[in-house]
Amino acid sequence: MSISRKTINTLIVVFFINGFLFAQEAKPPIMGWSSWNNFRVHIDEKMIREQADAMVASGLYDAGYRYVNIDDGYFGGRDSIGNLFVDTQKFPSGMKTLVDYIHSKKLKAGIYSDAGRNTCGSIYDNDKKGIGVGMYGYLDADSKTFFDDWGCDFLKVDWCGGEQMNLDEKTEYLKILKTVKAKNEAIVFNVCRWKFPGQWAIDKANSWRISYDIDDKFSSILKIIDLNVDLYKYSSPGHYNDMDMLQVGRGMSYEEDKSHFSMWCMLNSPLLAGNDLRSMSKETVGILINKEVIALNQDKGFYQARRIFKEGNIEVWEKLLGEKGKDGKAIAILNRGEEANNFVLKSDLVNLEKSVKIRDLWSGKKIGAIGKKVSFTIPKHGIVVLRTE
């Protein structure tokens, strides 16, 4: 199915599941938090509750963050008839109670599984309780547990167990997608295959990972950006290239964090904070709640930015805003280099009339008419993000 881009502001996505017709307004990429980057399998009920509390108290909720996603590490095993249960030492109140708490904060709850028998944590983190708890062979039972019993709103399905079993990814993911979306079409589904999975996913999953796990190094950020340069043709309203969870606030420099966050917004990746929300610096909060930069990610034109210029360490990216750019455009100038770089942005490069006014979304300064050209000094690993007024 191809998705029409007409009447974007009231776009309705229509598709069939098990012979039934479903329709919903296309949603922008999700925003929220996920446990994996900072905690891996070392998670518990108390910490998750505190992350939900911090999402509200820090201002992230007001900026649009909604999802609290519980990743690998919550499993206790299966009972005698195969039903999943949680690790009661980590989650003494049970998952339903925790999800209810998240919902009480007006937030949404996400959960994790694998397409095979075993989870990534069982393979790479020696989590023995991650063995035998994947969805393979338990698709209907686990879907009932996740959505009917626990009330979750999001599902990330990993591929470590599927790869271990040498399964066919298209076959397995489509089975899971069909079951989950038939359960509730509004459930947000992420294919975590660690590379672009193929065109079979682009009108079915809400997002799909395009890379191996992100690291808290700028080289990792650049590698993922490079992988997404030509994938814009597969992005459409409600269906996005997932560049992985954010590493903002986890060890990179302030300029690197701004560049990282800006490019995730420009390229329509889901925005899932991966840091500990309970102990954020003011700088980290300031990056994560920059509403003007977030607005690029959430723009109802659903346009993934294109790279329109590359020379040496400088790249210029363009993102049309609104339907077919009727709301102007955003321009990001990224310095990949190890030194500050002076760059002259010419109006004809970004196809703007000289009278068009622009402003800097990080400094908040109005630059005024672009004229024939305008100059910027961009720090090492830094970025300038502009928007037409």
Assign 3-class secondary structure to 137-170: CCHHHHHHHHHHHCCCCEEEEECHHHHHCCCCHH
Q: What is the helix (H) or strand (E) element at residue 110, kind and residue range?
A: strand 108-114
Residues whose CB falls within 8 Å of the CB of residue 280, separated by 6 or more in sequence, listed in order: 54, 58, 249, 288
**∠ CA(73), CA(71), CA(136), 5° rounding?**
80
SS3 97: helix
Alpha-helical regions (H) of the chain: 36-39, 45-57, 60-63, 95-104, 120-124, 139-143, 160-164, 169-183, 218-227, 254-266, 282-288, 291-297
Between the CA of residue 287 and those of 48, 118, 331, 381, 388, what are the distances in Å? 22, 36, 18, 15, 21
User: In 3D, which of 375, 369, 366 has the Cα closest to residue 355?
Assistant: 369
The dihedral over CA atoms of 172, 157, 148, 151, expressed in degrees to the nearest 10, equals -170
The SS3 of residue 22 is: strand
Q: Strand 306-311 relative to strand 271-273: parallel, antiparallel, unpaired?
A: unpaired
Locate 52 and state its tokens: 């939900």
Question: Active site residue: 87, 142, 158, 276, which one?
Answer: 158
Catalytic, 213? Answer yes
Q: Which of 125, 213, 215, 360 is catalytic?
A: 213
Catalytic (active site) residue 203: no
Alpha-carbon distance of 335 to 272, in angstroms, equals 24
Which residues have CB under 8 Å from 211's CB, separation 6+? 194, 195, 223, 224, 227, 243, 244
Residues 6+ apart with CB under 8 A from 104: none
Write out the catalytic residue numbers: 158, 213
